[in-house]
Amino acid sequence: MSESIITEKLINNILEWATELKHTAREFARLSSHEQAHVWNDLTGDEGRRRTFGTDGKEYFTKGLFEPDDLVGKALKDLDDEIEKLPSDQKGALVKAMQMSKDYVSSNFRLKFLRAEKFDAHLAAERMALHFEEKLELFGEEKLVREIIQSDLDEDDMA
Q: What is the pLDDT of residue 52?
A: 56
pLDDT single digits (tens) 115-130: 888 889 999 999 999 9
Cβ atoms of 48 and 63 within 8 Å: the answer is yes
* 44 vs 95, higher pLDDT: 95
Cβ-based burial of 94 (10 A; exposed 0-12, middle 13-18, buried ≥19): buried
Cβ atoms of 116 and 29 within 8 Å: the answer is yes
CA 22 to chain centre: 11
* 33 vs 86, higher pLDDT: 86
pLDDT single digits (tens) 130-144: 999 999 999 999 999
Residue 146 reports pLDDT greater than 70: yes
Contacts of 71 by beta carbon, 8 Å cutoff, 6+ apart: 119
Cβ atoms of 94 and 84 within 8 Å: the answer is no
Q: Which of 14-18, 70-74, 87-91, 138-142 has the lowest mean pLDDT?
A: 14-18
pLDDT single digits (tens) 21-37: 888 888 888 888 878 87
Q: What is the pLDDT of residue 12?
A: 80
Q: What is the pLDDT of residue 136?
A: 95
Q: What is the pLDDT of residue 139?
A: 92
Look up residue 92 and give its DSSP letter: H
pTM for this structure? 0.59
Residue 63 φ/ψ region, left for φ over 0, alpha for ψ in the -120 to 50 degree band, beta for the rest? beta
